[in-house]
Amino acid sequence: MSDSYELLVAKLKRVHVLGTVAGLLGWDEQVNLPPDSADQRGEQMALLAELNHDAASDAGIGKLLGELENAPASLTVEQQVVVRETRRDYDRMTKLPAEFVAEKARLSSAAYHAWAEAKATSDFAAYAPFLCKHLALAKREATYLGWADRPYDYAIDKHDPGMTAARLTALFTELKAGLVPLVRAIAASPIKARTDIFRGFPVEAQRDFLREVTERLGFNYRRGRIDVSLHPFCEGSGADIRMTTRFDADNPLDSLFSSIHETGHGLYEQGLPLALQGTPLGQNAGMGIHESQSRLWENQVSRSREFWAFFEPRFREKFPAQLAAVSPEELYLAVNEVAPTLIRVDSDEVHYNLHILLRFELEQRLFADDLAVADLPVAWNALSQELLGLTPTSDRQGVLQDVHWSGGAFGYFPSYCLGNMIAAQLWFTVLKTLPGLEDDFAKGDFSRLLGWLRTNIHEQGRRYDTLALVLNVTGEELTPKYLLRYLQERYAPLYLK
């Protein structure tokens, strides 16, 4: 039976390698691709999607799974995890026609370029046909997999196995009830962070500083790199991680915190067992867990006083003239500015989850056919006013701001809010487990935190789904109460004195 297991792993690793090639081409498409080469890249992506589909739906995998499932006693606990999760993946893949997979890949490439152009010109109407096609494909995919009556639940489950719209609604409703009073109290506070202190920060110096920060956090640049793209993202497996950011001379914190966010993703991928790449034990547990890693490093760690106690002197060395008249307290308040914004990726963490609630509601309405794609801008603007108190003046500021729908990534946005909740729950767990952890940060030492995450999250692969992993690590079911506690403890002392 060991021979069957080894054959299965060999086939899985081949699928993995094909996937990494497609991922690398996807990274290149957003970083280096010449503007008039998009049509060829679309065909390349479609071909790779077909090849990957053929490899992942190979009848030989099904035969080997059957043999192994018939003799579970011959498998170790870890091997049983691989067989269980591979069965889940295989059954999904074999139900999707190859031509459908290629069609979706081709559309995703074309839709990305249509989105980028539409965003630049604030022309939603030009992008809407691509979004309509993606929505139709998403519903077709759900039908192929047996979720025709619950297509949005399928979209959510793809990113966070075991999660449903009903479960998310319960969590988000509780979060909103506790969050809105804090948002209103801070809005009424006379204390405001200065936003005029960040002017004229040279991009090269920003690049050097964020490289220094992300290396100290633990990112291995011998197996990764960071470049520039329209929308920051992280792509790749532990052997080759490609991150991106963007730079603004008058907003250095944007590049810094987006880079730290993507570094959290990169650290997770680099922490997955390299020898098990291609198998479920070398894969992440879901996007909610993935986002918990990026948000924990971006927020709980990098917005803390201890983090800035270490990095502020270096920041001032890089930008002496720009920060000469800025006090340490003004700088720290700016790092933790709370003010509503139209743009999700620019949002402070107090308002951030309201941005996700907006998208969650719109996606549910789209999948329920209660909202037409053509009416999205009006619906978006109305919800933005309701939740954030702001109405976009252009679609660039509203419905066109995110890249996700151009790739058909419906059901992904809730993962950000889940990630925030999980990050806070992990944070309070690790603080109890590792006394004096924040004192480490003031010394520039993040190794104990990274080591704890490696052991408890990264090295677990897909042994557990999202909810089970949270319960296993923290000893409690997932709850918004720790996120609400964290936000209160971080921001009340700053704004509600």
Selection from 373, 31, 423, 386 nearest residue 265 by Cα: 423
Copy the structure tokens of residue 108. 């995703």
**11 vs 25: CA distance, rounded Å:** 22
356 by Cβ neighbours in 10 Å (0-12 / 13-18 / 19+) ranks as buried
Beta carbons of 162 and 466 less than 8 angstroms apart: yes
> Residue 233 and residue 159: Cα distance in Å, rounded?
16
CB 216 within 8 A of CB 444: yes
Under 8 Å between Cβ of 155 and 367 = yes
Given a cut of 70, the residues of the chain with pLDDT beneath it are 1
- Residues with Cβ within 8 Å of residue 333, at least 6 apart in sequence: 191, 193, 194, 494
Q: Output the pLDDT for position 1.
A: 56
Yes or no: say if 4 and 65 are a contact pair by the CB < 8 Å rule.
no
234 three-state secondary structure: strand
Phi/psi at 83 (5° precision) = -65, -45
Output the six-digit token pair for 223. Answer: 């197996």
Contact 332, 493 (CB under 8 A): no
Residue 224 tokens read as 């990764």
Strands 224-228 and 240-245: parallel
165-495 belongs to which CATH class?
Answer: mainly alpha
Edge-to-edge strand list for the sheet holding 224-228? 224-228, 240-245, 234-237
The tokens for 97 are 């026609």
Question: Nearest to residue 497, comparing CAs of 58, 77, 185, 114?
Answer: 185
**What amino acid is encoded at 416 in this protein?**
Y
> Which member of 262, 269, 298, 363 is catalytic?
262
**Rounded alpha-carbon distances, angstroms, from residue 289 to 178, 423, 470:** 22, 8, 9
Burial of residue 394, with CB atoms counted within 10 A of its CB: 0-12 exposed, 13-18 middle, 19 or more buried: middle
Rounded to whole angstroms, the Cα distance separating 296 from 276 reads 25
253, 335 Cβ separation under 8 angstroms: yes
Q: What is the pLDDT of residues 32-42, one digit of tens each?
A: 999 899 889 98
Task: Answer yes or no: are the C-beta atoms of 170 and 475 closer than 8 Å.
Answer: no
Q: What is the pLDDT of residues 169-202, one digit of tens each?
A: 999 999 999 999 999 999 999 999 987 899 999 9
pTM of the model: 0.94
Q: Domain map of the chain by residue range? A: 2-148, 165-495
CA distances from 43 to 31, 52, 134, 481 (A): 18, 14, 17, 47
Beta strands 234-237 and 240-245: pairing type? antiparallel
Q: Which of 247, 246, 251, 245 is nearest to 199 (CA)?
A: 251
In angstroms, how far is CA 282 from the centroid of its own chain? Answer: 18
pLDDT number for residue 88: 94
Q: Establish whether 312 is a catalytic residue.
A: no
